[in-house]
Amino acid sequence: MSSQIAYNLRAFQTLKTDLFRQDFLLTWEHPEEELKAILNLAETFKLMHQAGQSFKSFDTGLAISIFRDNSTRTRFSFASAANALGLGLSDLDEQKSQVAHGETVRETANMISFLTEVIGIRDDMFLGEGHTYMQEVGAALSDGAEHGVLHRRPSIVNLQCDIDHPTQALADLCWLREHFGSVKNLKGKKIAMTWAYSPSYGKPLSVPQGIIGLMTRFGMDVRLAHPQGYDLIPEVVELAGKQAAESGGKFKVTTSMDEAFADADIVYPKSWAPYHVMEQRTRLLKVSDKEGLKHLEKDCLANNAKHTDWECTRAKMNLTAGQKALYMHCLPADITDVSCKAGEVSAEVFEQYRIPTYNEASYKPFVISALMFLTRMKDPGAKLEMLVNRAQNLYL
Amino acid sequence: MSSQIAYNLRAFQTLKTDLFRQDFLLTWEHPEEELKAILNLAETFKLMHQAGQSFKSFDTGLAISIFRDNSTRTRFSFASAANALGLGLSDLDEQKSQVAHGETVRETANMISFLTEVIGIRDDMFLGEGHTYMQEVGAALSDGAEHGVLHRRPSIVNLQCDIDHPTQALADLCWLREHFGSVKNLKGKKIAMTWAYSPSYGKPLSVPQGIIGLMTRFGMDVRLAHPQGYDLIPEVVELAGKQAAESGGKFKVTTSMDEAFADADIVYPKSWAPYHVMEQRTRLLKVSDKEGLKHLEKDCLANNAKHTDWECTRAKMNLTAGQKALYMHCLPADITDVSCKAGEVSAEVFEQYRIPTYNEASYKPFVISALMFLTRMKDPGAKLEMLVNRAQNLYL
Amino acid sequence: MSSQIAYNLRAFQTLKTDLFRQDFLLTWEHPEEELKAILNLAETFKLMHQAGQSFKSFDTGLAISIFRDNSTRTRFSFASAANALGLGLSDLDEQKSQVAHGETVRETANMISFLTEVIGIRDDMFLGEGHTYMQEVGAALSDGAEHGVLHRRPSIVNLQCDIDHPTQALADLCWLREHFGSVKNLKGKKIAMTWAYSPSYGKPLSVPQGIIGLMTRFGMDVRLAHPQGYDLIPEVVELAGKQAAESGGKFKVTTSMDEAFADADIVYPKSWAPYHVMEQRTRLLKVSDKEGLKHLEKDCLANNAKHTDWECTRAKMNLTAGQKALYMHCLPADITDVSCKAGEVSAEVFEQYRIPTYNEASYKPFVISALMFLTRMKDPGAKLEMLVNRAQNLYL
């Protein structure tokens, strides 16, 4: 057993978690100690994988994914996590089924869950809907478990909703922890979560909301920057302020990218659609107003185009602490002259930080593994000890 | 080991089965003792799962599903069963392959089967075709095994054809056995398998046929009720009569829903298309007669609309034994004012029996598990004993 | 342990391979000893499967498939191999993702690979592209591994590109080895790889190229026959000649099917599109020239139609050694009067050799298993010994 794994195991066993057969929907619903346990476990699983040691924890059982939007990295992260833990993956293709609204969510949630351990859901397209849908599925599972229909209530893992993208934000935090040495070291570090220009439209708000909703809990100096009108959901912004105050950090909203970048230790420039546009879009989609949607997209793109200067260039990076802030992105980024004519980041800056963004992404399968493990194991500390003691290199 | 599991194991070991490397296509092709072994095993697997004990039986091997019609619950039941037994699931998407007619069925059946244990097939759309197709695949597999192309002939499990829906009917029987305490207790119980109104068209006949083809074997009083013209396949109706006579039960066909419901212990109101309509539909589809199909659908829906009073309401339920017959449905039901304006069952009755219908459905993955196990294991009694002795709770 | 398995194991342990964490793209990039190890291992796995012994080698890990063209047998062979070795299968559906060109191949290759062992790719549609794409993915994986993003670089297995179809050619060689008793016995045997008429258009060149690129290495007398103009990639033809000279065999190109069939021990009649047509097609597809493509298809089919006499009939078979050469095909074949009006082979000849072609195909899952094993295990000889010693019949 590597000394780092042994050290992590002992630390993990001191952390109390209360996730057994629970859902994981929004990071801010969970106490700091629980988040630390997740970070610790994700890192431990990563170390075990690096050492060629299996952390398979289940003999059988299904992990179901429901993707209501396209996905590559989260899809493969979920598949990898399920496989690594020993669960079989089944994707619910809603075009071949009846999961929809009202009565049927309740029914289908139970019908697919008789031998299911975890349900991962991505539902990030419509403001006001994704989180609500996950809660509906959760209520249906609780109902089924209470009535004895389900032997064990499966856990829901939010793979991105309209409010939060917790597996992304937690993977980002894992990466910051590695990069800066510890969570404690993040105290006082300045992170700029800023809007950036993109020629596309309708990008969800969940990443910036997830970042300000998580990073304000560790004493960081969090700056949210976006052009006038590109607001996030007000409740999340308010929460970020409250959390920053409680953690001894700072939270400030600005309409200047430069101000956010000034002396920043970390920058996270990323496009999103304005809150009110997403609201309007959801309304128009509900009534299938194609003409209205076309107008909205046109207006929105025209508005975006006024802010092409919100690009993460070398000049902008030079404003940051020591001119070398850590650049972060959930990927794929809109890279100027590579994936589009003008985008979120210059090719030069992206190329410089390309490998760090891959490292950032590499934590996601392990974060999802940790969430699956913690929501299913009654005594995760004892189970992890078993896994660690069992481990042996599998590649002869 | 729970005493119930131990009891079941001993009982299971007294039951003779002859399913090794065989197919399971129609319940009435199998002796009563075999069916009892299936029920016993399905219940044992369910008890083991409830106790958190794995019944994984394979180290590797594929379970292939071929769905020629949409499916949610059977799809997930099959996936769950394969996973629980340790088989990998592979879905054959016919749009990406060449399984079709004649020569190619023979070839493709072999090409996908070199390392395959079980093939589950749903083919319920065309009268006269689904069962025939399964037989064709079976003959191809036998041919391949006889010539040494296949090391072990895979078993076919019928996941719904034009004649029978055996995994549904057996799950229903498991549920009746649980509800009434034993199969013996079903003797003399009156079950009303009745047509019910639905605003949709072309629903297969396999569920009502499966029910009358199975329940007449246990001394029950089986009533088949439908409006004039909504006949099932004559051979199955005839078989049901013969089986009822042999088992000391009754079988009667009536055109009155009330008569069927009168003093019934169990009611199963469910829509289907008339036999002759399904025949005509198959003929029209074969020649791609779109105009003819449109007319047929229109006529059929118009005819259905004359029978909106075939709805399972509280008033109808009041006709049943003690006004509290057990309501059954294979789900999803067409619920009046919930999933449609007028349907098979009133919202009040469905809501009252919602959880029981979920319990009914919960047996399907375990029935499929039992069929997979019994068709693959040479000595299922010894293998089950191994599994039961090995079992330990997996959730620390 | 069967004596054949024990014998194979000892022979395998004398063969040096250098495939650990490497890709397998073209057979001619690998020394003869490595190919012999693959043949030996594929046969050993087949014998173990026949004996009901598992050769599961992994505890967890993903095998990813990327199919840029339809597939049944290779798809199921890959799924079977992954499952048999203990890997979970994940299919990358490019329509739901961003694997494309340039920047993104590099990124996506890493994003899907954090816990991945093997990536199988089929990309055979465009001349000049499939092999290049696999190399691009490979370079991206090497880059990720060198930077520590990937703990272990996954291996790429070519499931058919524009140049070679190595898992097909190796399965064919396994079958020849079984049929003729040994690889040594193939020395001097005459094999006719000939074009054959098909009413379809645009069939890839990778099978004939794979055959002449592999069979010329074992002292065989290889004849490539096709009508004037139906050339293969010149570099592969040149390579075949060079290899034949080195191995003490022969390689000759002819425009007469009869000449190729004369005294042949093995015949492999199979349609393909001319090299220059495939080149032109790729060019037209790149500029989406629909009119040009329509013309090209029409011209090509008209040209094909001049050669309907290139059919493998009984009369043609009578030209072969003892009138009973072994007929081979990668399947599905275009069979005259069965799958088309006029095709590659007469119904009589195909039916006579139907089971042998199934035996030929049956090796593919085991060849892919062998490639997965050899590219992942550091000491494959020791690991195989472990598997063989562990083996016990799993079907009670």
pLDDT of residue C202: 83
Note whether residue B204 is domain-resident.
yes
Q: Give me the helix-helix angle, B3-13 and B380-390, nearest 10°.
A: 170
Please state, in angstroms and rounded to a whole number, the distance separating the CA atoms of residues A134 and A127.
13
Q: How many other C-beta atoms lie within 10 A of the C-beta of residue B33?
A: 13
Query: Domain range for residue C132?
Result: 3-163+363-390
C391 and C48 Cβ atoms separated by less than 8 Å: yes
Is B348 in the same domain as B374? no
pLDDT of residue A201: 83
3-state secondary structure of B384: helix
Structure tokens at B130: 């689904």
Nearest to B333 by CA among B348, B323, B318, B320: B348
A109 and A137 Cβ atoms separated by less than 8 Å: yes
pLDDT of residue B104: 82
pLDDT tens digits, A36-82: 999 999 999 999 999 999 999 999 999 999 998 888 889 999 999 99
Quote the percentage of chain C above a pLDDT of 90: 88
Buried b (16+ CB within 10 A) or exposed e, C91-119: ebeeeebbbeeebbbbbbbbbbbbbbbbb
Rg value, chain C, Cα: 21
Q: CA quadruple C200, C206, C209, C214: dihedral positive or negative?
A: negative
Note whether residue B395 is domain-resident.
no
Q: Is the peptide bond before C332 cis (omega within 30 degrees of 0)?
A: yes
Q: Quick one: average pLDDT of A292-308?
A: 93
Quote the percentage of chain B above a pLDDT of 90: 88
Do B80 and A58 lie within an 8 Å CB cutoff? no
Note whether residue C396 is domain-resident.
no
Judged against a pLDDT cut of 60, whether residue B109 lies above it is answered with yes
Q: Which residues face B24 on adjacent strands?
A: B157
Q: Report how many domains make up chain B.
A: 2
Give the type of residue at B381: G
Q: CA quadruple C364, B84, B183, B265: dihedral positive or negative?
A: negative
Is A114 in the same domain as A221? no
pLDDT of residue B285: 86
A40 and A12 Cβ atoms separated by less than 8 Å: yes
Look at chain B and count its residues: 396
Nearest to A207 by CA among A307, A291, A296, A329: A329
**B356 burial type by CB count under 10 A (0-12 exposed, 13-18 middle, 19+ buried):** middle
Please state, in angstroms and rounded to a whole number, the distance separating the CA atoms of residues C216 and B366.
54
Q: Quick one: average pLDDT of B108-125?
A: 96
Dihedral over alpha carbons A201, A203, A204, A206 (to 10 degrees)? -140
Give the type of residue at C89: L
pLDDT tens digits, B317-340: 999 999 999 999 999 999 999 989
Give the type of residue at A337: D
3-state secondary structure of C193: strand
Is A157 in the same domain as A184? no
CB contacts of A145 in chain B (<8 Å) are: none
Is B120 in the same domain as B205? no
Residues 6+ apart with CB under 8 A from C74: C122, C159, C160, C167, C168, C364
Distance, first Cα to last Cα, chain A: 17
Rounded to 5 degrees, φ, ψ at B346 are -75, 155
Judged against a pLDDT cut of 50, whether residue B306 lies above it is answered with yes
pLDDT of residue A104: 82
Please state, in angstroms and rounded to a whole number, the distance separating the CA atoms of residues B92 and B121.
10
Q: Is the peptide bond before C365 cis (omega within 30 degrees of 0)?
A: no
pLDDT tens digits, A184-212: 999 999 999 999 999 988 899 999 999 99
Residues 6+ apart with CB under 8 A from A347: A335, A336, A337, A338
Please state, in angstroms and rounded to a whole number, the distance separating the CA atoms of residues C153 and A278.
41
Task: Say which of A70, A83, A335 has its CB closest to residue C62.
Answer: A83
Task: Say which of A80, A88, A394 has its CB closest to residue C59.
Answer: A394
Nearest to B120 by CA among B169, B63, B183, B77: B63
A116 at B interface, C-beta within 8 A:
yes
Chain CA centroid to CA C90, Å: 21
Is B220 in the same domain as B244? yes
**Residue B163: DSSP 8-state:** S
Rg value, chain B, Cα: 21
Structure tokens at C353: 């050799």
Alpha helices in chain B (DSSP H): 3-13, 32-50, 73-85, 103-111, 130-146, 166-180, 206-215, 234-247, 257-261, 275-286, 290-305, 314-317, 347-362, 364-376, 380-390
Q: Which residues face B222 on adjacent strands?
A: B191, B251
Do A103 and B394 lie within an 8 Å CB cutoff? no
Rounded to 5 degrees, φ, ψ at B351 are -60, -40
Query: If pLDDT is split at 50, 70 and 90, which confidence band does C71 have?
Result: confident
pLDDT of residue B101: 40
CB contacts of C387 in chain A (<8 Å) are: none
C54 at B interface, C-beta within 8 A:
yes
pLDDT of residue A1: 58
Do B396 and A376 lie within an 8 Å CB cutoff? no
Please state, in angstroms and rounded to a whole number, the distance separating the CA atoms of residues B77 and B83.
10
CB contacts of B90 in chain C (<8 Å) are: 76, 79, 83, 89
B114 at C interface, C-beta within 8 A:
yes
B383 at C interface, C-beta within 8 A:
yes
- Selected residue of B46, B53, B73, B78 to mutate for chain A interface (largest A Cβ count, 10 A): B73
CA distance C191 to chain B (A): 24
Residues 6+ apart with CB under 8 A from B17: B33, B34, B37, B374, B380
B83 and B89 Cβ atoms separated by less than 8 Å: yes
C372 and C20 Cβ atoms separated by less than 8 Å: no
Please state, in angstroms and rounded to a whole number, the distance separating the CA atoms of residues B267 and B328.
6
Note whether residue C395 is domain-resident.
no
Note whether residue A107 is domain-resident.
yes
Structure tokens at C208: 């004939």
Note whether residue B277 is domain-resident.
yes
pLDDT of residue A395: 56
Tracing tokens 């070839």 back to the chain, one arrives at B107
B8 and B47 Cβ atoms separated by less than 8 Å: yes
C362 and B114 Cβ atoms separated by less than 8 Å: yes
Nearest to A58 by CA among A24, A89, A27, A104: A89
pLDDT of residue B197: 97
Please state, in angstroms and rounded to a whole number, the distance separating the CA atoms of residues B194 and B192.
6
Lowest-confidence pick of A260-274, B86-100, C95-109: C95-109
pLDDT of residue C286: 84
Q: Report the mean per-residue pLDDT for chain A.
A: 94
Look at chain C and count its residues: 396
Is A123 in the same domain as A176? no
Do B50 and A115 lie within an 8 Å CB cutoff? no
Is C378 in the same domain as C310? no
Judged against a pLDDT cut of 80, whether residue C65 lies above it is answered with yes
Q: Which residue of A has its CA nearest to B47?
A: A151
Note whether residue C344 is domain-resident.
yes
Residues 6+ apart with CB under 8 A from C112: A72, A73, A76, C64, C90, C92, C119
Residues 6+ apart with CB under 8 A from C183: C36, C39, C173, C177, C218
Residue A132 belongs to domain with CATH number: 3.40.50.1370
Tracing tokens 């399947």 back to the chain, one arrives at C331
Most confident of A31-40, A124-133, C275-284, C387-396: A31-40
Do C111 and A395 lie within an 8 Å CB cutoff? no
A391 and C140 Cβ atoms separated by less than 8 Å: no
C7-10's contacts with Cβ under 8 Å and 24+ in sequence apart are C8/C40, C8/C43, C8/C44, C8/C47, C9/C44, C9/C384, C9/C385, C9/C388
CB contacts of A56 in chain C (<8 Å) are: 59-60
Judged against a pLDDT cut of 80, whether residue C392 lies above it is answered with no
Is A109 in the same domain as A20? yes
- Selected residue of A115, A119, A375, A383 to mutate for chain B interface (largest B Cβ count, 10 A): A115
Chain CA centroid to CA A380, Å: 22
Please state, in angstroms and rounded to a whole number, the distance separating the CA atoms of residues B50 and B393.
10
Does the ipTM exceed 0.90? yes
pLDDT of residue B200: 87
Do C394 and B59 lie within an 8 Å CB cutoff? yes
Is A106 in the same domain as A44? yes
Q: Report the mean per-residue pLDDT for chain C.
A: 94
Give the type of residue at C234: P
Note whether residue A91 is domain-resident.
yes
Q: Full-prediction pTM beyond 0.95?
A: yes
Please state, in angstroms and rounded to a whole number, the distance separating the CA atoms of residues B230 and B254.
11
Give the type of residue at C37: A
pLDDT of residue C393: 57
Is A249 in the same domain as A105? no
pLDDT tens digits, C241-294: 999 999 999 999 999 999 999 999 999 999 999 989 999 998 998 888 999 999
pLDDT tens digits, C198-244: 998 889 999 999 999 999 999 999 999 999 999 999 999 999 999 99
Give the type of residue at B53: Q
In A218-308, where do the E strands start and end? 221-225, 250-254, 266-269
pLDDT of residue C101: 41
Judged against a pLDDT cut of 60, whether residue A139 lies above it is answered with yes
CA distance B318 to chain A (A): 25
Is B153 in the same domain as B182? no
Is B223 in the same domain as B307? yes
C53 and C108 Cβ atoms separated by less than 8 Å: no
Do B83 and A111 lie within an 8 Å CB cutoff? no
